[in-house]
Structure 1
Amino acid sequence: MTSTTFRIGGDLEVRRLGFGAMHLPTEAGAAREAALAVARRAVELGVTLIDTAYLYGGGANEELLAEALYPYPDGLVITTKVGVARSGPQGEWQLDGRPAVLRSQVEQALRRLRVERIDLLQLHRIDPETPLADQLGTLRDLRAEGKIGRIGLSEITVAELDQARRIVAVASVQNRYNLLDREHEPVLMACERAGIAFLPWRPVAAGTSGAKAGIAAVAAEVGATATQVALAWLLDRSPVILPIPGTARVDHLEENLAATGFRLTPAQRAGLDRLHEPA
């Protein structure tokens, strides 16, 4: 039986199907009110892992989640990401893992989220211009200060994961991965061997017409939508996978979270596995 929970870092228990907040509108008005309602509904439906980042509106997404959910219910984990900043020549976004930038972004996230500690803090991308030891060393220092509980990485290779783990304990990895896009399969396998949470971003992909037909056929068999089949496949793929599908609509949110109610047969799973053509 597929487990519905996972302990990030071995001790932080969350429900495996989470919510990605990236798509929530933050500008004032009706769209923001709808976004607040989506975040609240996610928690009402049992979501205990919500993913955001400084990059999402320069912190506006973090502020939105705090407005919607603070004071936070027991067991809710809001993970955010740092390491991208408007530090380009014309103020454009670029990777920036300099220690002072990472420390400042964590301090700002604590204020915006209204917490004293971020249970899971992820490096949005490794900055190739800054030594990895400096980037992870800064996060390790912040963890020692009690401002971070656990450290994660995003969009990394197996080699980078190995290098990072020699510097600091890695609790999570967030790479692009879904039923039709398995470029990072080796990273997933490395995470599974080490018991590291794997948070696939873009967990649902439209795919080619042939793939759509294959997914639709399984969806018809189990009485689900194609999206639900894609999420059920992820949950069945590995016990360390924690999908974080995002949406700005309550009906889509409810559809996504209902994916936990579907079970794939071995034959259905095998058919879905074959839809992927290795690069």
Structure 2
Amino acid sequence: MADKTFKLNTGADIPAFGLGTWQGEPGKVKTAVSHALKSGYKLIDAAYCYGNEDEVGAGLADAFASGIKREDVFVMTKVWATYNTRIGLGLEKSLKALGLDYVDLYLIHWPLLLNPDGNDDRFPKKEDGSRDVIHSFDHREAWKEMEKLVETGKVKAIGVCNYSKRYLEELLPVAKIVPAINQLENHPWLPQTEIVDLCHEKGIHVVAYSPLGSTGSPLASAEPVVKLAEKKGVSPYTILLSHHVSRGHTVLAKSVNPDRIDANKNLVALEKDELKLLDDYSADIVAKKEWKRYVYPPFGVEFGFPDKS
């Protein structure tokens, strides 16, 4: 299952399973990336915002030096919100840090603009401590800049991250290139069916992050997850990761622990009735409006997600 791939709307293949690097402990990300690739991972997810692309790049370099070929590794990273009017510059900074000539997929991290002339490169703030957001910015302008990058060969494909149904419906009519993916927080407590269904309809691949919930993996104790884990003879973590791949989505597992990195890739196929058990659980969560979103920076912007509207 961990070796499975899915076809993007570009014709390229994306691995079904990859390593996430958000909140990776400083000093351990290089080893995590290198170990993951040497143990069979094919996908590495990064972002300028994470502040560790240099460590990711060092891990990639170490793996390549061991004989792993660049063309066998799918690398995606994201332009941060302070660079959404300077996307070419954002890409160059990421490529330099990663030590790469190109990335396989480049994403808009969030569809807003943080003040590019603010008091911080990543998280500019106003005097009152709130995020320095330029509210007049139209996220569709950023996509136009993303489309120009494809011609340079420095990105093999482009996509979005954290796009709601409303934002995607605003983007698609003006897009010359349909996003290859939408990377979303996705798990049984936040199924986001409305945006997932739209992505399926438009041929946009779904990539799930935070599949275990937040720090401490709270979803591992959810009743249907535990039930399926006992039935399959695997850990709840395996069920939560396998859930996405069995649905046809790519999932990102985040860890800097070598043993956990190895364990995470031991996925299992879930049958239709097993997927239905999780889907029914999610539907009940949504019906009760008991959804839980763990990643939602305090931008003060209404992005159109039902659980935040």
Match of 2:181 in 1: 172
> Counterparts of 2:109 and 2:143 in 1: how far apart (Å)?
12
Matched, 1:138 2:145: yes
How far off is 1:17 after superposition?
1.2
Match of 1:8 in 2: 8
- In 2 relative to 1, CA 226–12 (structure 1 residues): closer, same or farther, beyond 3 Å? same
- In 2 relative to 1, CA 155–22 (structure 1 residues): closer, same or farther, beyond 3 Å? same
Q: State the aligned residue count.
A: 255
> Counterparts of 1:2 and 1:252 in 2: how far apart (Å)?
14
Q: 2:258 aligned to 235, 250, 256, which one?
A: 250
Match of 1:224 in 2: 234
> Counterparts of 1:3 and 1:47 in 2: how far apart (Å)?
8
Match of 1:90 in 2: none
Match of 1:112 in 2: 97
* 1:120-171 CA-partner distances (Å, limit 9, x unpaired): 1001011154223321111111222222221111111123223323323211
Moved over 6 A (4+): none
- Contact residue 54 and residue 61 of structure 1 kept, 8 A: no
How far off is 1:188 after superposition?
1.1
Correspondence list, 1:30-49, <5 A: 32=28, 35-49=29-43
> Counterparts of 1:15 and 1:154 in 2: how far apart (Å)?
17
Matched, 1:155 2:178: no
Gaps spanning 5+ residues in structure 1: where? 86-95
Correspondence list, 1:1-279, <5 A: 4-27=4-27, 32=28, 35-57=29-51, 59-70=53-64, 73=69, 74-85=71-82, 96-98=83-85, 100=86, 102-127=87-112, 128-165=135-172, 166-167=174-175, 168-182=177-191, 184-205=192-213, 206-207=217-218, 212-237=222-247, 239=248, 241-259=249-267, 262-276=268-282, 277-278=285-286, 279=289
Corresponding residue SS for 1:200: strand
- Contact residue 180 and residue 207 of structure 1 kept, 8 A: no
How far off is 1:2 after superposition?
11
Match of 2:124 in 1: none
Paired residue type of 1:142: L
* 1:77-122 CA-partner distances (Å, limit 9, x unpaired): 110001234xxxxxxxxxx521x2x221101112222222222100
Corresponding residue SS for 1:38: helix
Corresponding residue SS for 1:274: helix
Q: Give the stretch that moved more between structures: 43-52 or 126-135.
A: 126-135
- Contact residue 117 and residue 148 of structure 1 kept, 8 A: yes
- Contact residue 62 and residue 109 of structure 1 kept, 8 A: no
Corresponding residue SS for 1:269: helix
- In 2 relative to 1, CA 2–247 (structure 1 residues): closer, same or farther, beyond 3 Å? closer
**TM-score normalized with structure 2 length:** 0.74
> Counterparts of 2:209 and 2:9 in 1: how far apart (Å)?
19
> Counterparts of 1:2 and 1:267 in 2: how far apart (Å)?
21
* 1:249-278 CA-partner distances (Å, limit 9, x unpaired): 11111221101xx23344433322232211
Corresponding residue SS for 2:253: coil
Corresponding residue SS for 1:175: strand
- In 2 relative to 1, CA 150–20 (structure 1 residues): closer, same or farther, beyond 3 Å? same
- Contact residue 172 and residue 197 of structure 1 kept, 8 A: yes
> Counterparts of 1:3 and 1:251 in 2: how far apart (Å)?
18
- Contact residue 79 and residue 119 of structure 1 kept, 8 A: yes
* 1:218-274 CA-partner distances (Å, limit 9, x unpaired): 11111100010111222222x2x1001111111111221101xx2334443332223
> Counterparts of 1:214 and 1:65 in 2: how far apart (Å)?
37
Gaps spanning 5+ residues in structure 2: where? 113-134, 290-309
